[in-house]
Amino acid sequence: MKRIVSGIKPTGTLTLGNYIGAIKQFVLLQQSMPEDEFFLFIADLHALTTPQEPTELRKRIKEIAGMYLACGLNPEKTVFYIQSEIKEHAELGYLLQCFTYMGELERMTQYKDKVKKQESSLSSAMFTYPSLMAADIILYDADFVPVGDDQKQHLELTRDIASRFNGRFRDFFTVPEPIIPKVGSRIMDLQNPEKKMSKSDESDKGYVSLFDDPNIILKKIKSAVTDSIGIVQYDVDNQPGIANLLTIYTSMTDESIENIVSKYNGLGYKEFKEDLATIVSKKVGEIQQRYNEIISSNTLDNILDQGRQIAQQIAYKKLEKCKQKLGLGRKRK
């Protein structure tokens, strides 16, 4: 039996990128690996790397939990929990910082982007959080970690940290494998297809939120940037906007790109975008309907309580063993 672990950070709103690159993959994996264990959490400690308004943060934590379920994850086969409710994440995060080199953290593109963009008030946690992310994963001896393309570098670092620790203390942590979908691992901004679709974006025209009104979704997709070539075909270099929309189309329908391309052969972008807009807004509308039912029942708290209990036991045991290995505290009898 294998263990699959992943998480989402409750900053900004959940986007179509999060759905296609991560949540949908979790659902597919759960269907194709029914014997395996799924641990999915809400990475709220990671959210604090940038300033958060407390009531807003708490609301978003619940939103992600509700969306995991609304998107089709099975609560009987998944351990759902909130990262900050398991203290061991933060503690192992610190221990792993002691096994992470400054140079490695300095090479992280997400950190470099932040430094480039601004920001005199960048928190030190923004620099060190990849060690916390490594802790989130290896605390549970994850075999597989499904993520979008932007997390690949963090996964590589996680593997390096785990291997380094194992090199000194005999195979102690499982070295995890990332699972990155071949299609849809990097959904791009609708207004600027050179840029990743992101929930922390200033302008909301470039992303579809899973909480957008279906009518707004229609508008956003219909006004997505395209090009002047006028042919629906998959050419990332010359038609990045259309390539992105084709990726969204295939991800939302499971129809192959070739099929879609031949369906719109001879037709203009208008028809293609209108159809896609309907597909996405319908699908997201259905998810929202399930979400509203879940959020208005009180099952969510019970699910998160159960998840906390299961995750807690595993995390506690692993961390205790890790501290013993390192020579911390007193020897256990």
Q: Say which of 9, 24, 199, 273 is annotated catalytic.
A: 199
| One character per residue 194-233, x = contact with ligand TYM (rule: CB under 6 A) | --xx------------------------------------
What is the Cα–Cα distance from 85 to 56, expressed in whole angstroms? 18
CB of residue 186 to ligand TYM, shortest distance in Å: 5
b/e for 135-170, b at 16 or more Cβ within 10 A?
Answer: bbbbbbbbbbbbbbebbebbbebbbbbbebbeeeee
Q: Is 284 in the site for ligand TYM (CB under 6 A)?
A: no
Is 323 labeled as catalytic in the residue annotation? no
Q: Which is closer to ligand TYM, CB of 140 or CB of 272?
A: 140
The dihedral built from the CA positions of residue 154, 22, 278 and 200, taken in this order, carries a sign that is negative
Give the range of 182-190, 240-248, 249-257, 324-332 binding ligand TYM by CB under 6 A.
182-190
In the bound state, the residue with its beta carbon closest to ligand TYM is: 21
Give the range of 131-139, 229-237, 274-282, 286-294 binding ligand TYM by CB under 6 A.
131-139
DSSP string, 75-99: TTTEEEEEGGGSTHHHHHHHHHHTT
Going across the sheet that includes 177-179, the strands are 78-82, 37-42, 3-8, 144-146, 177-179
Among 86, 133, 246, 311, binds ligand TYM (CB under 6 A): 133
Where in 20-59 is the site for ligand TYM (CB under 6 A)? 20-22, 43, 46
Cα–Cα distance list, 185 to 24, 120, 128, 298 (Å): 11, 31, 24, 33
CB of residue 191 to ligand TYM, shortest distance in Å: 13
CB of residue 17 to ligand TYM, shortest distance in Å: 3
- Could you tell me which of 52, 35, 32 has the C-alpha nearest to residue 43? 52
- Could you tell me which of 297, 244, 307 has the C-alpha nearest to residue 272? 244
Q: Which backbone phi and psi does 139 adopt, to 5 degrees?
A: -55, -30
Q: Which is closer to ligand TYM, CB of 264 or CB of 291?
A: 291
Among 3, 17, 131, 251, binds ligand TYM (CB under 6 A): 17
What is the Cα–Cα distance from 252 to 241, expressed in whole angstroms? 17
- Could you tell me which of 255, 235, 256 has the C-alpha nearest to residue 244? 235
Q: Which is closer to ligand TYM, CB of 187 or CB of 314?
A: 187
Among 145, 217, 245, 261, binds ligand TYM (CB under 6 A): 145
Supply the residues annotated as catalytic: 114, 196, 199
| Interface with ligand TYM (CB under 6 A) | 6-9, 17-18, 20-22, 43, 46, 133, 136-137, 145, 147-148, 150-151, 185-187, 196-197
